[in-house]
Amino acid sequence: MIDIEFETLQALGLTQAIAARAAQLSVPGPDMRLARITESQRDCFTLHDGRSELLARALPRLVQQLQAIAEPLTIGDWVGMQADAHGQAWIVERVQPVTQIARRANDGRRQPLASNVDAALLVMGLDADFNARRMERYIAMVRACDVAPVVVLTKRDIAPDAARRIAEMYARLPATVPVLPVNALSRETCSELGPWLHAGQTLVLLGSSGAGKSTLINTLADAGQSTGAVRKGDGRGRHTTTARSLHRCAHGGCIIDTPGLRTFRPDADARTLAASFEDVQSLAQHCRFRDCRHEGEPGCAVLAHVDGDRLDNYKKLMRDAQRGELTALERIELRAKWKAIGKAGSQRAREKKG
């Protein structure tokens, strides 16, 4: 079994759930170590093992296997790594992520954005970036990935219409979703986000370009003691988001930064996404027709009671999801297939040994 120093790795976001999965990894040799992907380039990864950072490549066998289930290695993944005789580090195994935020690219391919995240900070400016409908869709998408949404509205200090927009967001979103208006440049933001930043927690930042994601990272990371571990910024002063990277911040949590996402097509089936629109779902049970599309059919219970804009937004999300649905189902089948192949493989190995 792989040797896991829980306390050391907790500072990188290791949780009991992930450690339990890591313990199941097949260990090719005694020197396999657990590490987390903190940055990914095309075919090279930056890993952190709790002590130091190192560059690694992934075994082609693993790359192929993960490609086949549309789950390429991504930032936030926990992996088993080994060094070869030349000192080159290799990723030999991946721990199946507990959660993964993914989107669907325009060509329909699934694109994971971050693995093993507990909460998503949905960052939106109170300036021209503000759009409550878009926020509603972001929330449905992250919830569909079993990740808790936290709405962070930046530029509270400079947006002229801030108070009205904050009120609009509160009125629109369910009370269960935290909404935090902040000045991303202010130190106070660290304590406002404190509850999501404990050791062992991993956050991902999602939002349009210019929303304030890098500013938040800088504020949260600068407040930390620079242990030199995970990168803070790019050393050139202001951090600009060109690639995704994982940072450690003051209160012990980890934050994954993503480049601006304006279009974020969901990678979840319609039914999972619909869970965020409980009101529409429960009213729909009272529509006269089972397949009511809530577009003016007689006896529709939804149209009369749900805000028109919210309903349009729900419909847009369902349309987007249905376009990607087939592939989501195919993926489940593929995963089952790989599981079966893996089982057969270890069965054969046991028979050989025994």
Ligand X SMILES: Nc1nc2c(ncn2[C@@H]2O[C@H](COP(=O)(O)OP(=O)(O)OP(=O)(O)O)[C@@H](O)[C@H]2O)c(=O)[nH]1
Contact status, residue 148 vs residue 129, Cβ threshold 8 Å: no
5, 31, 146, 157: which one contacts ligand X (CB under 6 A)? Answer: 157
Neighbours of 316 (CB within 10 A): 13
Check binding of 181 to ligand X (CB under 6 A).
no
Check binding of 263 to ligand X (CB under 6 A).
no
155, 165, 244, 248: which one contacts ligand X (CB under 6 A)? Answer: 155
User: Which amino acid, residue 12?
Assistant: L
141, 173, 249, 302: which one contacts Zn ion (CB under 5 A)? Answer: 302
Q: Report residue 321 CA to chain centroid gap.
A: 18
User: Which amino acid, residue 7?
Assistant: E
Report helix, strand or coil for 172: helix
Known binder of ligand: residue 346?
Answer: no
User: Which amino acid, residue 53?
Assistant: E
The residue among 66 and 287 lying less far from Zn ion, judged by its C-beta, is: 287
Answer with the entry of Zn ion, ligand X, none that 76 interacts with (C-beta below 5 to 8 A by kind): none
Report helix, strand or coil for 349: helix
Check binding of 245 to ligand X (CB under 6 A).
no
Known binder of ligand: residue 26?
Answer: no
Task: Give, as ranges, the residues between 189 and 228 that touch ligand X (CB under 6 A).
Answer: 207, 209-215
Known binder of ligand: residue 300?
Answer: yes
113, 273, 292, 328: which one contacts Zn ion (CB under 5 A)? Answer: 292
Known binder of ligand: residue 44?
Answer: no
Q: DSSP label at 97?
A: P
**Under the phi-then-psi rule, with left for phi > 0, alpha for psi from -120 to 50, and beta for the rest, what region is 212?**
left
* Closest separation in Å from C-beta 243 to ligand X: 11
Contact status, residue 119 vs residue 203, Cβ threshold 8 Å: yes
* Closest separation in Å from C-beta 311 to Zn ion: 10
Give the Cα separation of 150 and 125 in Å (integer).
Answer: 14
Known binder of ligand: residue 190?
Answer: no
User: Which amino acid, residue 199?
Assistant: A
Q: Which residues bind ligand X (CB under 6 A)?
A: 154-155, 157-158, 183-185, 207, 209-215, 240-241, 259-260
Residues annotated within the binding site are 154-157, 207-215, 287, 292, 294, 300
